[in-house]
Amino acid sequence: MWSRQRGRLKPLCCGVEELRCRRREREAALRKARREQQLVSKRLLRDEALEEAEEGCVAMIFGEAEIQQFLQLAQRGTEEKEREGALVSLRRGLQRPETQQTFIRLEGSIRTLVGLLTSNQALLQLEAARCLHELSHSEQSAVVEACLPATSYLLTYLSGHSSDFIELCLYTLGNLIVESEAVRRQLLPQGIVPALAACIQSPHLTVLEALGYALSQLLQAKEAPEKIIPSVLGSTLPQHMLQLLQPGPKLNLGVAVEFAWCLHYIICSQVNNALLITQGALSTLGLLLLDLAGAVQRTEDAGLELFLLQKQPSLLPEGLWLLNNLTANSPSFCTSLLSLDLIEPLLHLLSVSNVVSVLVLTVLCNVAEKGPAYCQRLWPGPLLSSLLDTLAFSDTEVVGQSLELLQLLFLYQPGAAQAFLQQSGLQALQRHEEVAQLQDRVHALQQTALHG
């Protein structure tokens, strides 16, 4: 049946260097697409076992006549195996964009396909759905929009029970959704949100992952904050999403990844985060983060530097951003940071990157600005030598933030200025004396250090 063996590595048909190169190219293309707000990625579900069996048969480009033949055979063939076989051949042909174009331009083709999709022959239905899925994956809007007549049926089938079929419908819907606003303008009144809300109660992990994918595509739409997120928030979807993100033995990473992205799109749209908080979003996500940190730790050597994110440097900014928002106006969070000995791990992050360093220093400033009781707990310790290191950076934002922190320490912690002088702090400051954004603060600190 429809087995996706995505966990399996395909044999390498090109060198590692070429793979790296392709990946870099893909990354660059994605960055560019994001800047142009054209970020569209789809998921293609193909039976890899089947593909391997068919290896050596390259997908053909079919012309009108051939497509007609396949469709007629599928509709009216006498032998069931024959009818299925016709659709299988059609499906393979539809892997080619040329065949897709010919197909959609052929009169009655979609209608016939939809008819087969809704027929009472289970396996024909499945093959028809696979054909639609291939079409949904196209990069041409015309091909994707040609699938619109099928959407009411795809949604109807979400309330069915055949998990593989539902999974296929969901991935197809997800691909259609991300393609164009025209598609979404049809799917919303057709009831996609209640259909997903009913479907999320499925016990099948594959269905849940597919649902998360489709929902994430819906929430990523640019009109989502006004037109989609309010009704999602009004449904039972958020509660179920949070449940699926609970840490513990039942957590499935593939599913969790999809719903984490769904939550991200909802939350950063700032529609009604208060509602999510009342549903326990903060504690669920906090605990999940901890659980993942623990899992990362368990798989690493004892020499692991950082409590969560060393392996995923791209996650550091997010984590630190979170810490900033938690500590900015909260004496109790700042106190917790101190009493849980998290200052030293934070200091270790100062060498990762400029963005990260600024964030770390900002968090430390959040703590220090609360007054002497807090600065006392920051002192003595590695903080001073870390600051002297950051003063050696050339990035003005990093240095600027270091200067702010120094000022707070000088102000609230007796002996800080003295220690700073003793460790050649003045020399460290000197190199920034001429920098426009820094000079005023540099001079002020020099004065304070020298004269108290």
Partner 1 sequence: MQLPPALHARLAGAPGSAEPLPVERDPAARTAPFRFAPRPVRFPREHDFFEEGDVQRHLYLQDVLMQVGGAPERPRVPEFTCQVAGCCQVFDALEDYEHHYHTLHRNVCSFCKRAFPSGHLLDTHILEWHDSLFQILAERQDMYQCLVEGCTEKFRTSRDRKEHLVMRHLYPADFRFDKPRKSRGPVMPGAAEQVLAEALGDDGVPSEGDAMEVCSEHVEPPPVPAGERRAYSHRCLARI
**Residue 240 engages partner 1 in binding (rule: CB under 8 A):** no
Nearer to partner 1, 84 or 93 (CB): 84
Cβ atoms of 90 and 124 within 8 Å: the answer is: no
Segment interacting with partner 1, rule: CB under 8 A, options 6-14, 57-65, 390-398, 418-426: 6-14
For the segment 12-71, give every residue that binds partner 1 (CB under 8 A).
22-23, 26-27, 30-31, 34, 37, 39, 41-44, 49
Q: How far apart are CA 333 and CA 315, in angstroms?
A: 21
For the segment 139-178, give every residue that binds partner 1 (CB under 8 A).
145-149, 152-153, 156-157, 159-165
Q: How far apart are CA 47 and CA 82, in angstroms?
A: 20
Candidate list 138, 206, 357, 413; residue touching partner 1; CB under 8 A: 206
Q: How far is the CB of 96 from partner 1 (least distance, A)?
A: 19
Cβ atoms of 133 and 45 within 8 Å: the answer is: yes
Q: How far apart are CA 37 and CA 301, in angstroms?
A: 41
Residues 73-112, one symbol each (x = binds partner 1 by CB under 8 A, - = not), give: --xx---------------------------xxxxxxxx-
For the segment 340-369, give every residue that binds partner 1 (CB under 8 A).
340-342, 344-345, 348, 365-366, 369
Segment interacting with partner 1, rule: CB under 8 A, options 3-11, 63-71, 86-94, 425-433: 3-11
In single-letter form, the type of residue at position 12 comes to L
Cα 361 versus chain centre, distance: 27
For the segment 401-440, give every residue that binds partner 1 (CB under 8 A).
401, 403-404, 407-408, 411-412, 440
Distances (CA, A) of 283 to 181, 196, 204, 242, 424: 35, 25, 25, 10, 45
Total interface residues for partner 1 by CB under 8 A: 139
Q: How far is the CB of 297 from partner 1 (least distance, A)?
A: 6
The dihedral of CA 88, 91, 95, 97: what is its sign?
Answer: positive
Nearer to partner 1, 405 or 428 (CB): 405
Distances (CA, A) of 433 to 90, 91, 237, 448, 449: 72, 69, 56, 15, 15
